[in-house]
Amino acid sequence: MTTTSTPTAPSTVNGRVIALAHYAGRAILETALARRGLTFQQTVTLRPAATAGTPVERDELIGQVVDALKVDPTEVRGTIEELIVKGLLAPAASRLRITDAGQAIYAEVGAETAPISARIYAGIPAEDLATAGRVLTLVTERANAESAALSR
């Protein structure tokens, strides 16, 4: 069954618009991850180790993933253990280092999704992307502040 998308009228940004954009892009990423036996949470956990250049402190990595995904630290610890079992992360005392296999799989996913991302963003004026970036950063900061206030 083939579906076609019809352009929609420009929309004011709100939670639904942000969520729809997130999940549309995430579906593309998850397709690439599934082919490699990875989950979204695993790749979010792998990313800081892949981009750090040096081993990362386990607690720092846990904090970054908790902050990004708003999940319980215990869940992230489990995800780290899954990545260790898969041979994508390796413990080094209190630190974690990405393995060659981890770096390779991270690069593969990036190589597969980069051209798709390029097509998605193609033709959107740079000033619109900059404005969207500023607005979404502000929305994230405010939502994080509200979340912190709720948990007090």
Tens-place pLDDT, residues 118-142:
999 999 999 999 999 999 999 999 9
Q: Say yes or no to pLDDT of 16 above 60.
A: yes
Write the pLDDT tens digit of every residue in 30-86: 999 999 999 999 999 999 999 998 999 999 999 999 999 999 999 999 999 999 999
Task: Give 105-116 pLDDT, tens digit per residue.
Answer: 999 999 999 999
Torsion sign (Cα): 96, 100, 101, 106 = positive
**Second-level CATH architecture of 37-114:** Orthogonal Bundle (1.10)
pTM for the model: 0.85
Distance separating alpha carbons of residues 116 and 58, to the nearest angstrom:
32
Taking the C-alpha atoms of residue 108 and residue 120, their distance in angstroms, rounded to an integer, is: 19
Name the pLDDT band for 151 (thresholds 50, 70, 90). confident
Ordered strands of the 89-92 beta sheet: 56-57, 95-98, 89-92
Distance CA 26, CA 48 (A): 18
